[in-house]
Amino acid sequence: MSLKRFLAVFKARNIEFFRDKSSLGWNLIFPVLLLVGFSFIFSGDGRPAYKVGIINIETENATYTTEKQKDFENIRFIEFIHYESVEVAKSKLDRHTIDLVIELSPSRYWVNSESAKSYLVEKIFNTQLDNFTRLETSGKKIRYVDWVLPGILGMNMMFSCLFGVGYVIVRYRKNSVLKRLKATPLSAFEFVSAQLLSRLFIVMFMSTIVYSGCNLLFDFFMLGSYFNLVIIGMLGAFCLISLGLLVASRSKSEELIGGLLNLTSWPMMMLSGVWFSLEGAPPALKSFADFLPLTHLVAGARKIITEGATLGDISYHVISLLVMSIIFLSLGACFFSWNTER
């Protein structure tokens, strides 16, 4: 081994990295962005131990209702989530998503007879609930593995769509493969559509295999239609692939595209309801999450699996994915470059 040749290659690689201002800046900024994001998301006195739903109903004696609400909400480490509909709140209680439902006017509350947390919360509010009518509901508990399933599959699809498309396009551009393809009769539309459909087939095929195999082990909870689940999965994958094509439409640096894809995927992984519910999260955070494709994929799939929702019931998520796909594809086609010089 020649130390001289080793040092020459070592020096050249370092110079190559530090001269790439975009990847250098990304390596410096990305950890800071993560710290700022986590400090914002998880700031406060700690995660609440229980969740209680309160029905927002306008009454003639608003002052009295407000005072009763304050009596409940003074208790720490319990998160209070406001609902406009009793039925929506009860459905959450049935699935053990929340632990108690309180309607201030008329004075009544619901507990889930099959939930240990619901029993404990009722005991905590024992004094405040003296003059309330007690009602019971019940429902099969959704295991965490059932609840997190759409998030895991969605996250896996996201990484496959973004990195599977982004890195390939950039590598083709960097190695002048795209430049050579430009000299052929192949049009940009034909190339992009072939890449999109190929990745869509791969993602859906692999996701089906993963779901089927895991279902044999865990016997997943499923209330809805598998056909609807496949449709929302295809829409979500199509949208994420379109986003990957947009991110890689002009870049020629594999290090830069890695940073850009991380910048795209990390917010979705943390804020799209993959690992934990955004129920009760700040409105600004929920609004931001609505602009993330993975949010609509995971939320739509989760409603089909755990609530038996139809495509009509999740039309908001379906339309959002379609609109995002059109925007991403249009921008990707507009900015797409064959050459490495651009």
| pLDDT tens sequence across 78-97 | 888 888 888 888 888 887 77
Q: Can you give the C-alpha Rg of the chain in angstroms?
A: 25
pLDDT reported for residue 105? 78
Tell me how far the alpha carbon of residue 90 is from its chain's centroid. 24
Tell whether 118 and 169 lie within a shared domain: no
Hey, what's the torsion of the CAs at 172, 178, 179, 185, to 10 degrees? 160
Report how far residue 92's alpha carbon sits from residue 280's, in angstroms, rounded to the nearest whole number. 13
- Across 32-46, 93-107, 257-271, least confident range: 32-46
Max avg pLDDT among 71-75, 170-174, 260-264, 275-279: 260-264
Angle, vertex CA 19, rays to CA 18 and CA 21, nearest 5? 85
The answer to the question of residue 154 being in a domain is yes
- Rounded to whole angstroms, what are the CA distances from 165 to 162, 199, 201, 337? 6, 7, 13, 15
Max avg pLDDT among 4-8, 58-62, 126-130: 126-130
Look up residue 34 and give its two tokens: 């993560």
Domain count, the chain: 2
Tell whether 296 and 198 lie within a shared domain: yes
The answer to the question of residue 16 being in a domain is no
**pLDDT band for position 291 (cuts 50, 70, 90):** very high
Average pLDDT over residues 331-338: 78
The answer to the question of residue 234 being in a domain is yes
Count Cβ atoms below 10 Å from residue 110 Cβ, excluding itself. Answer: 23
Task: Please say which residue of 103, 122, 137 terminates a domain.
Answer: 137
**pLDDT band for position 165 (cuts 50, 70, 90):** confident
What pTM, to 2 d.p., does this model score?
Answer: 0.69
Parallel/antiparallel/unpaired status of strands 133-137 and 78-83: unpaired
The answer to the question of residue 160 being in a domain is yes
CB contact at 8 A, 115 and 69: no
pLDDT reported for residue 324? 94
Tell whether 242 and 164 lie within a shared domain: yes
Report how far residue 269's alpha carbon sits from residue 277's, in angstroms, rounded to the nearest whole number. 12
Tell whether 254 and 170 lie within a shared domain: yes
Tell me how far the alpha carbon of residue 194 is from its chain's centroid. 27
Max avg pLDDT among 85-89, 209-213, 301-305: 301-305
Task: Please say which residue of 120, 137, 154 terminates a domain.
Answer: 137
pLDDT beyond 60 at 42: no
Tell whether 155 and 96 lie within a shared domain: no
Tell whether 119 and 216 lie within a shared domain: no
Tell whether 92 and 162 lie within a shared domain: no
Tell whether 106 and 214 lie within a shared domain: no
**pLDDT band for position 66 (cuts 50, 70, 90):** low
Task: Please say which residue of 137, 172, 187 terminates a domain.
Answer: 137
Closest CA to 340 of 171, 180, 176: 176
**pLDDT band for position 209 (cuts 50, 70, 90):** confident
pLDDT reported for residue 22? 62
CATH label of the domain that carries residue 61:
3.40.190
- Local structure of 117: helix, strand or coil: helix
Tell whether 192 and 88 lie within a shared domain: no
pLDDT beyond 60 at 157: yes
pLDDT beyond 90 at 320: yes
pLDDT beyond 60 at 270: yes
Give the sheet arrangement for strand 50-55, strand by strand: 78-83, 50-55, 100-103, 108-112, 133-137
The answer to the question of residue 41 being in a domain is no
- Structural domain for 266, as ranges: 144-335
From first CA to last CA, the distance across the chain in angstroms is: 39
pLDDT beyond 70 at 43: no
Tell whether 330 and 257 lie within a shared domain: yes
The answer to the question of residue 207 being in a domain is yes
Tell whether 176 and 281 lie within a shared domain: yes
Can you spell out the DSSP letters for 269-281? HHHSSSSS--TT-
The answer to the question of residue 66 being in a domain is yes
- Rounded to whole angstroms, what are the CA distances from 213 to 195, 217, 273, 302? 27, 7, 23, 19
Tell whether 167 and 306 lie within a shared domain: yes
**pLDDT band for position 325 (cuts 50, 70, 90):** very high
pLDDT reported for residue 15? 75
Give, to the nearest 10 degrees, the angle between helix 315-335 and helix 188-218: 140
The answer to the question of residue 202 being in a domain is yes
pLDDT beyond 60 at 41: no
What average pLDDT is seen over the chain? 79
Percent of the chain scored above 70 by pLDDT? Answer: 77
